[in-house]
Structure 1
Amino acid sequence: MRDEQGPRTRWTFLTHHARVLVAISRDAEVRLRDLAATCGVTERAVQAIVTDLEDAGFLVRTRHGRRNHYHVVEGTYFRHPAEAHQEIAGLLALFGGPDPRPGSGHQQRLPTGDHHGEHP
């Protein structure tokens, strides 16, 4: 039930792990500081998330000179039993379009839902 002053908590449908994976699928050479800004978490949190994704087999990270290059592993499935029959590729196809950040050349506006204080 909603309080007259707004929702009791702020929540979103995608986890930080999902956001990081989607952002990496858009740009395989994205910097951790840019991932942090895009996903709204600290750079340290992004480092931990990337490590989690690597350890779980969703990502492979290699060094190209001074930069990291990420490869999203094909054929991986969601971890939770309720979605374990679905490949991650479906999520990436749904959200993996052009970068919606300001100045990236493409703006994506959500038609409804919680926009964390942003209004179209």
Structure 2
Amino acid sequence: MVGVPQSHTGWTFITSHARVLAAIADNPNARIRDIAARCRLTERAVSRIISDLEQDGYLSHTRDGRTNNYRIEPDKVLRHPAEAGLSVASLLSLLVQDETDRIRKPVAR
């Protein structure tokens, strides 16, 4: 997959659950294999994360032949008390770029 960053060691700001949710928001028809490659996770880990997200009502899916069509619940509130009142939509607004914003813009300092 072109443009996928190299694996990283150490801590990061974004959890695997948030990465998977963002990958699905970017492509609701993505295969688990593609989500795993983008998020640098195993397919098994992505399957478990999707199961977690579905179990808690953040995500649902329907089957269209052999393809899963995922639907994110944007109004669902984040789980941690520190993010009380923040919705999935507010999280995704930080993680998912609009197609027009995909060109890297310089960071103001």
Query: Shorter-normalised TM-score: what interval?
Result: 0.7 to 0.9
AA partner of residue 13 (structure 2):
F
Q: Which residue is 1:75 aligned to?
A: 75
Return closer, same or farther for 1:93/1:64 CA change in 2, 3 Å cut-off. Answer: same
Of 25-34 and 79-88, more deviation after overlay is shown by 79-88
Deviation of 1:98 (Å): 4.8
Q: How far apart, CA to CA, are the structure 2 residues paired with 1:88 and 1:66?
A: 27
Q: Which residue is 2:55 aligned to?
A: 55
AA partner of residue 73 (structure 1):
E
Structure 1's consecutive aligned runs of 4 or more residues displaced over 6 angstroms after TM superposition are: none
TM-score, with normalisation over the residues of structure 2? 0.81
Q: Which residue is 1:102 aligned to?
A: none
Residues 73 and 88, structure 2, Cα contact 8 Å, conserved in 1: no
- Tell me which structure has the larger Cα radius of gyration: 1
1:22-77 CA deviation, whole Å, 9 max, x = no partner? 01001000000000011111000000000000001000111011100000012111
AA partner of residue 11 (structure 1):
W
Q: How far apart, CA to CA, are the structure 1 residues paired with 2:22 and 2:106?
A: 17
Paired positions, count: 97
* Residue identity (%): 46
Point out the structure with the larger helix share. 2
Structure 1, unpaired ranges of 5+: 1-8, 100-105, 112-120
TM-score, with normalisation over the residues of structure 1? 0.74
**Secondary structure of the equivalent of 1:82?**
helix
AA partner of residue 67 (structure 1):
T
Return closer, same or farther for 1:15/1:72 CA change in 2, 3 Å cut-off. Answer: same
Note if 1:14 corresponds to 2:23: no
Structure 2, unpaired ranges of 5+: 1-8
